Amino acid sequence: MQESKQKEYKRGMFYHQHPPELKSYFIMGTKALADEIANWPEAKKYSEKIAKLSDHIYQIAEDAIKVSEDELNVINHGDCHLNNMLFKYDDNGKPIDHIFVDFQMCVYTTPALDLLYFLNTSPSLDVIENKRNTLLNEYLDTLSATMKQLNYKTELPTMEELKAILKRRASYGMVISFTILPLMLCSKSESKDLDEIMGTGTFISPGLQSESYKKLMIKRLPLYDEWGLLG
């Protein structure tokens, strides 16, 4: 991609020149998570580690998604979750088409950004545990078809290489699990905008207290610790 075009897609959600208010959301959200986990008998041992990460959590995400010239880079959606996808269904309720909406966070970098964001916010526990390879294969097939359509000659990563990229950049998925996933798990009646979440000087996110969030995080936290992401 030409340098001038890259500059149009260099910001995304995690960018050092974004206003402090955005960074504060991630810092406060991570501190609130540490406080919440302290009440979970199965996971309270991780509370202190997460609290220590909180002041650096925005930088952790920013570092995890930096462009590497040794990897394939793509234009990512940047806010890739189910609420930003629209599906068309046939008369039997089978999805037959799909489009993305809300392109405010597009960014040119590793494909791990969208994949980790989506995998950590959108699939059910069953899908993420049993169909992850199916989703990754679908991504590679679609990427291959799109690159051929554009006559783009860069070599695609293999499945093994893609998994290695996701593992190297797994801290991004961790940050998304800490801070974005709770928003995704709120019911419509409980959902709040950022002013409501942060407006009182304390962080109020009903998603942190949800049983579905707790169930997911009790499975993920030991992995983050095993991978050395919690420090």
Give pLDDT tens digits for 6-25.
Answer: 557 888 899 888 888 889 98
Q: How far apart are alpha carbons 94 and 80 in whole angstroms?
A: 22
| Contact call for residues 154 and 147 (beta carbons, < 8 A) | yes
Give pLDDT tens digits for 95-154.
Answer: 999 999 999 999 999 999 999 999 999 999 899 999 999 999 999 999 999 999 999 888
Q: How far apart are alpha carbons 25 and 90 in whole angstroms?
A: 40
pLDDT at 172: 98
Q: Which amino acid is at 44?
A: K
pLDDT at 46: 98
Residues 6+ apart with CB under 8 A from 64: 112, 169, 170, 171, 172, 175
How does the average pLDDT of the chain come out, rounded? 90
> Count of CB atoms within 10 A of residue 11's CB?
17
Q: How far apart are alpha carbons 138 and 114 in whole angstroms?
A: 14
pLDDT at 16: 86
Confidence of residue 205 (pLDDT cuts 50, 70, 90): confident
pLDDT at 97: 93
- Phi and psi at residue 230, to the nearest 5°: -90, 5
Q: Which amino acid is at 13?
A: M
Structure tokens at 61: 């995400």
DSSP string, 27-62: HHHHHHHHHHHTT-TTTGGGHHHHHHHGGGHHHHHH
Give pLDDT tens digits for 148-202.
Answer: 999 988 888 999 999 999 999 999 999 999 999 998 887 665 665 666 666 666 6
